[in-house]
Amino acid sequence: MSREQTVALASGLAGLALVAGVVVWRLASASYRADIETICHAEARSGLVMNKDMQALTAWVRAHLTTPEGNELLSSLGDAPMSARAARLGDAAASAGVGACPMTAAYESLVRDGDYRADLQRLCSYVTFPDLAADDDAARLVALEDWIEGQARNPRTKALAGPLRGAGTAAERARVLRQASGEMGIFTCDVAKAVETPPPPPDAGD
């Protein structure tokens, strides 16, 4: 083989290697993009819901990822604080050219639910209202309203002020608290007990 033929052959092989490398890179990129889409649409594709089936949903996603990069992204989401996960996944989706990413909304919903649950735990705790049982009904309601206005972080907690104020009896106010806390998986609300306990009799001589 002549020198010219050897050079031509080497150039051709180099060109083929370059083309093959580009194809592999594009296929890998496309697979990573597909992995991000899998994460983004995991609820719809799996039939599982983040706020009820987080562990099962994560296992489903892991089983359907195809690249190390996709697995690394999923692991990084699990390691991040819940409040940072929506932004991290949204950034990855935007960088990969993925359009809608419903999972970001699921993460944001979990954060809101967590804030609401934390509010309700404090609202239901004797530690927050240590002297509530010693007050009369009107003072108890004021204490609850003041705490909700000044301390509650979640809009759903703040929205409880209306139903509490509109309740006609102490038993109805206790029911509002128990229903709200029960819906968030909080099955003991000590403050509800204090609210429905008959107020102490006035001091002698009043």
Residue-level pLDDT, tens digit, the chain, 206 residues:
666 655 454 455 444 444 344 334 444 455 999 999 999 999 999 999 998 899 999 999 999 999 999 999 999 999 999 999 999 999 999 999 998 999 999 999 999 999 999 999 999 999 999 999 999 999 999 999 999 999 999 999 999 999 999 999 999 999 999 999 999 999 999 999 999 999 888 764 44
Q: What pLDDT, on a 0 to 100 scale, did the predictor assign at position 137?
A: 94
pLDDT confidence of residue 25: 40
- Per residue, the 3-state secondary structure of the chain, as one string, reads CCHHHHHHHHHHHHHHHHHHHHHHHHHHHHHHHHHHHHHHCHHHHHCCCHHHHHHHHHHHHHHHCCCHHHHHHHHHHHHCCHHHHHHHHHHHHHHCCCCCCHHHHHHHHHHHHHHHHHHHHHHCCCCCCCCHHHCCHHHHHHHHHHHHHHHCCCHHHHCCHHHHHHCCCHHHHHHHHHHHHHHCCCCCCHHHHHHHCCCCCCCCCC
pLDDT of residue 202: 74
Please state the pTM of the whole predicted model: 0.73
pLDDT for 201 equals 82
Q: How far is CA 190 from CA 22, 117, 129, 154, in A?
A: 65, 15, 10, 20
